[in-house]
Amino acid sequence: MTKDYRIAIASVWLSLFFACGFLGCDRLTSSRYTQLMQDADSKSEQGDFERAINLYEAALDDSPRCAEIHYKLALLYDDKLNDPVSALHHFRRCLALSPNGSHAKDAQNSIKRDEVAVLTTLSGDSVVTRSEAARLRNENLDLHKELEARTGTWRSALDKSQASAASSKKNASKKGGSRTYVVQSGDTLASISRKFYKSSARWERILNANKKGIDDPKKLTVGQTLVIP
């Protein structure tokens, strides 16, 4: 075997060795990426958003496939953590890595929305156009007028209802014309008359209304219920 032949064989083996080595690294890298993504997705579903973010960030390597990771990070910051500043960063990275990807349009719309949210937070005011403000003001005035009208109607109906109830009560009192009283120890018809009519002279009226229950006008039964006309 000549020296040149041995060198050629060695070169072939070295080439195969390095090729297998690089292929193995790619497989290891791909396997690690897949595992990190699965773990991150799982933590996100469980509500452990901080841990999910750490796992997603560990999988980042600035390759086009990482546009998906940036998109998921942006959604976490936007929807779960209410952090539009961090969400903006990841939406922009998603677009930079995959400007025509499946999430590009949503990322663009989200960037516009989050920019408004950030400006609103910084200014401390609601970002509303003049036309929108005028529309809301007019709607508010219309609602206020409608509320006043309904309040007036309710008050009128309530007043009528109360007046009707008072009238019915008064008529019932006149119609029935009687109350009841439970005889206490020491009561007489005269004392009961004085209690209800401010005069003892109307005791006979009480007697006439309770003839069936009073055997002796001078001896009332304690606990007896009398009708007071």
Q: Is 165 or 25 the better-scoring residue by pLDDT?
A: 165
Q: How many domains does the chain have?
A: 3
Same structural domain, 199 and 144: no
pLDDT on residue 212: 86
Same structural domain, 164 and 189: no
Res. 46: pLDDT tops 90: yes
Same structural domain, 156 and 63: no
User: Got the DSSP string for the chain?
Assistant: --HHHHHHHHHHHHHHHHHHHHHHHHHHHHHHHHHHHHHHHHHHHHT-HHHHHHHHHHT--SSGGGHHHHHHHHHIIIIIS--HHHHHHHHHHHHHH-TTSTTHHHHHHHHHHHHHHHHHHHHTS----HHHHHHHHHHHHHHHHHHHHHHHHHHHHHHHHHHHHHHHHHHHHHHH--EEEE--TT--HHHHHHHHHS-GGGHHHHHHHTTTT-S-TT-PPTT-EEEE-
Instruction: Return the percentage of the chain with pLDDT > 90, whole number.
Output: 21
pLDDT tens-digit series, residues 86-95? 998 989 998 9
pLDDT on residue 61: 74
Print the domain residue range for 93. Answer: 3-123
Same structural domain, 159 and 107: no
pLDDT on residue 13: 46
pLDDT tens-digit series, residues 152-198? 776 777 777 677 666 655 554 444 556 899 999 889 998 999 999 98
Same structural domain, 144 and 73: no
pLDDT tens-digit series, residues 118-162? 777 665 555 545 555 556 566 666 776 776 777 777 677 777 767
Res. 99: pLDDT tops 60: yes
In this prediction the pTM is 0.44
